[in-house]
Amino acid sequence: MRIPAVVLLLMGAVALGAAGQCVQVTPNESGRRVDITIDGKPFTSYIWPTTLKKPVLYPLRSATGTVVTRGFPPDAARKEPTDHPHHVGLWFNHGDVNGLDFWNNSDAIKKEDAAKMGTIVQQKIVAAKSGADHGELAVEADWMTPEDKPLLREQTRFIFRGTPDSRTIDRITTLSAVDQRVVFKDIKEGMLGIRVTRGLQQPDPKQDNTGVTGEYISSEGLKGNAVWGSRGRWTLLGGTVDGEPITMAILDNPSNPGFPTYWHARGYGLFAANPFGVKDFTQGKEELNFTIEPGKSATFKYRILILSGKATPAQVEQQYKAFAAAGS
């Protein structure tokens, strides 16, 4: 008997792992990608094509195979918005790191702006492990200046899990300052971001809302556009994609800098957690310029849920508690 996603949520994260499906993690370095399948079905891929300015997970799919991220720009064939070409799949970066913009960098920038942009360069696949109930991918990347000098060394570990009704990604990223003080300037453009497909956008009275069904709900009970700029342990985004009810959620971790995070959650499809946008999100009442000293590091842990079905805030809160209590 197929167990609904909402029931699995109530059973908690430990049960999700126990009921998990086989996860295959397959590196293809010549193709600049690592493919992740669950129970033989494509889930996502870690990709670093030369056309992107950072590695990303793209696309993301539900357990049934429904794509929940925007296709553009890698896949321009789908009829979707083409704004913000730097929004691709799921990524992690920031808009002002020692004065360099990693967030907005893409092939679409003007030539005169190239000197202001930073690039995250994939360096090494450290480990790729498949398993009966979860898979892991560990990678190293460098946050580079336009002069090809590394500012930060990134070590990221992904943990992938799935059940017949759910997909889960844990992302644990450690950023280490290489040889100088690194400052993440307090701006709204950061850090863990997902660009969702059209069905999960929020309706906008000024736009054509055909197929648009999304709504944000935060751990603090805020809904819709009120979530933007607020703080919370987690935020969910629910809607319908290609006829399938979908709930996505990003869970913050109490160990993260700036916990609970601020939410850079836009109705047009940007779903992002940014602990370093305090000044923008508080209209200048507070400010946090996060700093990593030379030789020091900071670690960020997030869980991303993709659930087939409509999950309640209470069910997502239960998932958050399990994630907060679990080790790395």
DSSP per-residue letters across 142-209:
EEE-TTS-EEEEEEEEEEEEEETTEEEEEEEEEEEE-SS-EEE-S-SSEEEEEEB-GGGSPP-TTS--
- Tell me what pLDDT residue 3 has: 43
- Tell me what pLDDT residue 20 has: 77
**Cα four-point dihedral sign 59, 65, 70, 72:** positive
Q: Residues 303, 287, 87, 38: what is their CA dihedral angle, to the nearest 10 degrees?
A: -10
Number of domains forming the structure of the chain: 1
Lookup: tokens for 79: 């009829």
CATH of residue 255: 2.70.98
- Tell me what pLDDT residue 160 has: 98
- Tell me what pLDDT residue 328 has: 54
Residue where the block lists tokens 């460098």: 142
Residue 292 to residue 120: CA distance in whole angstroms: 17
- In Å, how far are 6, 38, 77, 84, 138 from 71, measured between CA atoms? 27, 21, 8, 12, 25
DSSP character at residue 37: E
- Tell me what pLDDT residue 76 has: 82
Residue ranges making up the domain that contains 90: 5-325
For the entire predicted model, the pTM comes to 0.93
Residue-wise pLDDT for 180-195, tens only, equals 999 999 999 999 999 9
Residue-wise pLDDT for 137-156, tens only, equals 999 999 999 999 999 999 99
Note whether 193 and 91 are within 8 A (CB).
yes
- Tell me what pLDDT residue 77 has: 79
Average predicted confidence (pLDDT) for the chain: 93
Residue numbers in the chain where pLDDT is lower than 50: 1-18
Residue 88 to residue 166: CA distance in whole angstroms: 22
Counted residue by residue, the chain has a size of: 328
